[in-house]
Chain A
Amino acid sequence: MKHYVGTSLILALAVVFTGCGKKESAPRSERDPAPVEASVQGQADDDATVLTIWWAQWDPAVGLQELGDDYEKKTGIKVEVRQIPWGKYQEQVFLEFGNKQTSFDIVVGDSQWLGKGATEGLYVDLTQWLPTVTDIDKIHPQARKYLCEYPAGSGKFFAAPCETDAIGFAYRKDWFEAEKEREAFKAKYDRELAVPETWDEFVQVAEFFTRPDEQRYGCVLLTGRSYDALVMGFQQVMWSFGGSWGDADTHQVDGHVNSSASAEALDFFKSLLEYTPQGGGNIDYDRILESYKDTQSAAMLMTYFAFFPAIEGSDVGANSGYFAMPSKDGKRGVSLGGQGFSISAKTSPQQQAVAKKFIAWFLERETQEKWITKPGGFTAHTDVLASEAFRSATRYNAAFADSLDDMQDFWNVPQYNELLSIAMSHLGAALDDDTVTAKQALDRIAEEHTEVLQDAGLL
C-alpha cells in the first residue's frame, strides 16, 4: 500500500512541478547561455551560428529574411527573422523581455517602445557604437531623432534604422484622369482636378468623389480603434493645424493638446468622415486596404507607405497613384512609422556582438540599395533616398522621400501606451458621439495625460 502512496505523491509532484515550471524561452541549442550584461565588450563568438530577429508579420520582414539569407552566404551566420502577427507583436515582445533571457537577439521595435527599452534596461545602448559603423549624418534627421534616439534629439542611440516608414495617400489615378470627371470638377470648383496639396483642396476632392448612390466615396482615413490607427491618422491633421500632443522637452500637455488649433483640427478631421463610406469613423489598417483595393469604393486612401506594395499587386494597382500628406498654411505633419533594430540587453554578449555585425552590414550603402528593392523596404539613408534609383524604383517612393522632412511621432516615453489608450478613448468618443465636442475630448486627454506624466515623474 505504501508503495502506491509513494508513487502517487511522486506523480503528483511531477505533474505540479512540470505544470508550474517557469516558462522557458525557445530552445537555444546553438547559443551561449552566458549571464546577461547590458554593455557589450566582446567580439562575435566564432561558434555563434544563428542570429534571431523578431519582427511583425508583413512584407518588409520577408525582405529582411531575404537579406538575411544573403548575409548567411557571406558570413555563415544564419539569420532567422521570426514574424509575429501584428495584433500580438508588442505583447509577445514585452512578455519575452519579462524573462531572464530573450529568445531574440534583435527586435525590430516601434519607435514608441524606445523609452521603455532605454529606461528599463531592455535595449543595449548603441550611443558609442553606432557612429563607428555608419555615418550618423547620413541617417535622415527625422528618422534618427524618432526611430533611433531616446529621448528624441538627445544623441543617445538605442536603435539603428531598419524600416523607415511614413503615412501617405494612395489615390485612384484613373478617376482623377477621366476627362468627364476633370470637366465636372473644373465646373464646380473652378480649378483643375489634381492631387491635393492642402487640406482645403483635399476636402474639395473628397466631396467631389462622394457619391453614395454609385458606392463611391471621397476617402478612407485611419480611424480604427484596435491599436493606434485613430491617433496616427488624426495627429497629422493636428500638427498641420498647429496643434501638438505637448512640449517634448517639458512634457507640458495642457495648452498644447487642447489648444484651439488642436480642437479645430479635430473638428476638421471629424468633418472628413462625411466623405467616407458609412462606418468610416472606425476603420483599421486591414479594413482600410480592403475598402480601397477590394471594394474599390474610395478615391483616396490614407495609410503607411509600407502597405502600398499590397495595392500595387491588386486589381487597382495599375490605376493608382500616390501622394504625400497635404498641408495647412504651409505646415505639414506626417506620422512616422517603421521600426528600428534594437539589440536585446537580455541576450549573451556574444550574441549582441553578432547582432551588431549584422546591423553594421545592413547599414552599408550596398545593402541599403538592395533593401530598397524589397517590398516596403524603405531606407533612412539620405544618399539613397535622394538617388534617382530610389525615387524611381516604385511609383510611391518619390512621395515617401518627400514626406520624411515632416515626420513627427507620438510620445515615446515609457508610458506611451497609457497615453495612447487615453487618446484613443477620447478621440473615439469625439468622432462617434455628437454630444462630445472636440474641445471637451481634448481637455479630457490633457487632464489624463497630465496625470500619467506626473505619476511617471516626467512632469
Chain B
Amino acid sequence: MATGQQSSDGLMKWGLVAPALLLLIGLNIFPLAYNIRLSFTKATLTQAPADHEAVGGRNYARIFKADESNRYAAALRTTARFVLMAVSIELLLGYLLALSLKPRFPGKSVVLLVFLIPMMLSPAVMALFWNLIYDEEFGVLNQALRFVGFASVPGWKTDTAVKFYTILMIDVWMWTPFMMLISMAALNAIPDYIYEAAEIDRARRWTVFRRITLPMSAPLLILAALLRTTDALKQFDYVMAITGPNDPATETLSTLMYQVMFRNFKVGLGSAYAIVVLVIVIAVATLFIRYLDRLREQEHAL
C-alpha cells in the first residue's frame, strides 16, 4: 500500500523531471513530429497549416528518384565526400600534431594557443574572410603564389575541379585544432606506468604506438570523429560564402535544403530532405557508438 511519503516522493520525481520533459517535448519532439507531417505535404512557406495539401510519399519518391536531375542525390554524394575527406584529414593531422606536441618544450603553451585560434573563431565570419583570401585576382593567396613565381594560379572559386577542395581546405584549417585538442586529451589520459612497463620490456617505439598509444587513445578519437562527422554533415557557411548555393560542384545537403525551403519556399519537400538527413545522421552516430562500445568491451576484457 502506497504511503503518503511514497506518493510525495513520486510527485517530487515527476516535478524534477517535468521541466526537462516539457522542454524536450516542446523543442524537440513536437517540431520533429510536425516536420514529419510537413514532409508528406506540399506546404509552402507562406501557407497557413490548414492549407497544406497532402501528397503522400511524393516528396520522398522525388528524393530517391534515379535521375540525372536529382539534386538531392548529387548533394548527398558531395556531402558524403566532404565528410569523409574532411574528418579523415583533420583526424590524421590533428593526431600527428598532438603526438608531436606531446613532449614538453619551451613555449609549448604559446604554440598550442596559436594552433587553437582557428577553432575559436566564428565559422561564418571566417568563411567571409576566406572568400577574400581566395579572390582569384586580388586575393592574398594568388598574389602570394604569383609573387613566388607561379605563372598560372588556381581558379579557387571558378574551376570545377578545384572548388570542392577550396571549401575542404577551410574546414581542415578550422577544425584540425579540435581534433588535435581531443587527441592530446586522449594521449595524456594514458597512464605513464604502461609506457614504463613497455620500456622495461624493451618494446620498440612502433610496437608501443601500435599496441599502447593507438588503442588506448582510440575511444576518444572515435568520439571526436563522431562529433566532427555530425558537424561536417551540416556544412553550410563555407559553401554559401565561396560558391553560393546553386553550384553543382559544391552543393551540400544543408545549402540545398536552404535553397528549397527559404528560396524556393517548398517547405514540404525541404522537410522530407531534413528527415532523410536525420535518418542518415542517426545511422552514422549509431555506427560510431556501437564501435565505441565494442572498444570499451575489449578494454574491459583485457
Q: Are A16 and B26 in contact (CB under 8 A)?
A: yes
Q: Are A12 and B18 in contact (CB under 8 A)?
A: yes
B259 at interface, CB cutoff 8 A: yes
Q: Inside 8 A of B119's CB, which chain A residues have their CB?
A: none
Q: Are B249 and A432 in contact (CB under 8 A)?
A: yes
| A431 CA / B157 CA spacing, docked (Å) | 12
| A6 CA / B244 CA spacing, docked (Å) | 51
Q: Are B136 and A225 in contact (CB under 8 A)?
A: no
Task: Given A297-B137, A417-B264, answer yes or no on A98-B246 (Cβ-Cβ < 8 Å).
Answer: no
Residue interface mask A273-304, B partner, CB < 8 A = 1: 00001111110000100010001010000000
Q: Inside 8 A of B291's CB, which chain A residues have their CB?
A: none
> Which residues of B from 50 to 89 have beta carbons under 8 Å from A?
68-69, 71
> Which residues of B from 18 to 71 have beta carbons under 8 Å from A?
18-19, 22-23, 25-27, 30, 44-48, 68-69, 71
Residue interface mask A412-455, B partner, CB < 8 A = 1: 00010110010011001101110000000000100110010000
Task: Given A2-B11, A278-B153, A279-B155, answer yes or no on A447-B69 (Cβ-Cβ < 8 Å).
Answer: yes
A393 at interface, CB cutoff 8 A: no
Query: What's the least CB distance linking B87 to chain A, in Å?
Result: 27
Q: Are B246 and A421 in contact (CB under 8 A)?
A: yes
**Total of A-B residue pairs, C-beta within 8 Å:** 133
Query: What's the least CB distance linking B46 to chain A, in Å?
Result: 4
Main secondary structure of the interface of A (DSSP, over half): helix
| A287 CA / B128 CA spacing, docked (Å) | 12
Q: Inside 8 A of B137's CB, which chain A residues have their CB?
A: 277-280, 291, 295, 297
B109 at interface, CB cutoff 8 A: no
The one of B23, B68, B157 that contacts A279, using a Cβ cutoff of 8 Å: B157
| A11 CA / B23 CA spacing, docked (Å) | 11
The one of B14, B47, B142, B240 that contacts A278, using a Cβ cutoff of 8 Å: B142
The one of A2, A9, A277 that contacts B136, using a Cβ cutoff of 8 Å: A277
The one of A9, A287, A415, A418 that contacts B18, using a Cβ cutoff of 8 Å: A9
B217 at interface, CB cutoff 8 A: no
A97 at interface, CB cutoff 8 A: yes
> Which residues of B from 141 to 160 have beta carbons under 8 Å from A?
142, 153, 155-160
A249 at interface, CB cutoff 8 A: no
Query: What's the least CB distance linking A344 to chain B, in Å?
Result: 12
Q: Are A425 and B246 in contact (CB under 8 A)?
A: yes
Q: Are B263 and A421 in contact (CB under 8 A)?
A: yes
Task: Given A95-B45, A421-B246, answer yes or no on A432-B160 (Cβ-Cβ < 8 Å).
Answer: yes
> Which residues of A from 339 to 392 have beta carbons under 8 Å from B?
none
Task: Given A279-B135, A279-B157, A432-B249, answer yes or no on A421-B19 (Cβ-Cβ < 8 Å).
Answer: no
